[in-house]
Structure 1
Amino acid sequence: MTTLLQIDSSITGPNSVSRTLTTAIVEKLREANPGLRVIHHDLAAAAPAHVTPANFPSAHPISAAAGDAPEFAAGRAASDAILDEFLGADIVVIGAPMYNFSIPSQLKAWIDRILVPGKTFSYGAEGLKGLAAGKRVIIAVTRGNFYGPGQPTASFEHVETYLRSVFAFVGIPNPEVIIAEGVQLGPDARQTALDKALQQTAGLNAA
């Protein structure tokens, strides 16, 4: 059975463009695979705690250095569950709105659980090796203004660039990225951005 992990991080609920896009992406993939198993996490409703030595995944060197105090058990178990879900997923769909030029802090806390030496990457004689290769990652990026190449604000963009770096680091160098931008420039601009992004969603390879 194919497993899809859907991660939403927008704090704007039903008004969220990124949630509209992740929903459309999942529906598109479900049409092609009715037996698709979907695990959905709303990070705005239930965000992982910011990382500390007490709640890093058990396999992380920071956890080993901090020891195994009983009060660390619950936090580490929750982090291990996040990491295991990511490792077990065949497809990962992420909604990533731009907040103040970067990703929501809730999404950053989730990412901090999946970047674990020996689990999703390693260093060796040949340098960095990503250990999570083979997954399909689809990211719905939403931006209030225009930050694409050639725009005066292009250097302010730290959502798509950051997430591409994260997934390349763990062995997934070519995530599929759907972008809706200019969504805060008025109702017409928002609808135009959403329509274009939904067209991209409709054109996704369903396999």
Structure 2
Amino acid sequence: MANIIITGTSRGIGFELVKLFAQEGHKVLALSRNAKPVLDLGLSNVEAFPFDLGSPEDFNQLKDVLKNWSSVDVLINNAGSFLNKPLLETEMEDFKRVYGVNVFGVAEMTKNILPKMPKNGHVVTISSMGGVQGSLKFPGLSAYSSSKGAVITLTELWAEEFKETGPSFNVLAIGAVQTEMLAEAFPGYEAPVTASEMANYIKSFALSGHQFYNGKLLQVSNSTP
């Protein structure tokens, strides 16, 4: 059984991932600003506490928790901050808030977990098709989509930097998934994939994808967006 850390677990794909990994008997640390949905599951092999990717104090708490973990086999950087606003109305603070979670938070989380990861560990970061060069873009998503493009490049850089020692790093650019975030972004749009279905794919990839990929972007989408 693997030791798994997942961010952004209060709803959507992250919440489904917690349940799937727990059902298979893996040990899970679920991190989200709202820990209640996971705690309410009452799963004995799941640990959760309120966690803000922008809080140094929360990272200190994470370090204390990790002292009781011998290793971390899988890190899934799933937490995301979304913004749909025309560029001329987007303030610098808007960009900072989105990048604080989607880029800086991913980097800080990964940096903190790496010392606990073995050579065959796997860091999976969840990006978006909006962050892939050449994919269809939507107006109003300047901060969000550009931040999702940034973590694609970060993944390539980290895979190169740690290619001798591990772990492996890969990034999944997912398309439309029926989540609360999608409903907020595109009201009325119905995605062809449920959060549970996408979580099943991500779970399998997180556990075995590093055997075949490192430093790679995989586009996981059968639709636009």
- 1:112-169, Cα deviation, whole Å (9 max, x unpaired): 26427xx948xxxxxxxxx7632123334457xx443323649953225426625524
Question: Counterpart in 2 of 1:159?
Answer: 148
Cα pair distance change 1:95/1:199, threshold 3 Å: same
Cα pair distance change 1:142/1:162, threshold 3 Å: closer
Secondary structure of 1:187's aligned partner: coil
The 1-side partners of 2:13 and 2:7 are apart by 12
Cα pair distance change 1:164/1:150, threshold 3 Å: closer
The 2-side partners of 1:112 and 1:28 are apart by 26
Question: Counterpart in 2 of 1:185?
Answer: 186
Q: State which of 70, 85, 91 in structure 1 corresponds to 2:74.
A: 91
Cα pair distance change 1:174/1:49, threshold 3 Å: closer
1:10-25 correspondence runs (5 A): 19-25=11-17
Unaligned segments of structure 2, at least 5 residues = 35-49, 84-94, 209-225
Q: State which of 149, 172, 183 in structure 1 corresponds to 2:133.
A: 149
| 8 Å CA contact 1:181, 1:193 repeated in 2 | yes
Percent identity over the alignment is 9
Structure with the higher helix share, 1 or 2: 2
| 8 Å CA contact 1:96, 1:142 repeated in 2 | no
What is the root-mean-square deviation in Å for CA atoms of aligned residues?
Answer: 4.3
Deviation at 1:21, TM superposition (A): 0.9
Question: Counterpart in 1 of 2:31?
Answer: 41
The structure with more radius of gyration? 1
1:138 aligns with 2:139: no
Cα pair distance change 1:179/1:85, threshold 3 Å: farther
| 8 Å CA contact 2:71, 2:118 repeated in 1 | no
Cα pair distance change 1:42/1:87, threshold 3 Å: farther
Q: State which of 108, 115, 128 in structure 2 corresponds to 1:112.
A: 108
Question: Counterpart in 2 of 1:2?
Answer: 2
| 8 Å CA contact 2:118, 2:167 repeated in 1 | yes
The 1-side partners of 2:125 and 2:171 are apart by 6
**TM-score, normalised relative to structure 1:** 0.52
Q: How many residues align?
A: 159
Unaligned segments of structure 1, at least 5 residues = 14-18, 56-74, 122-130
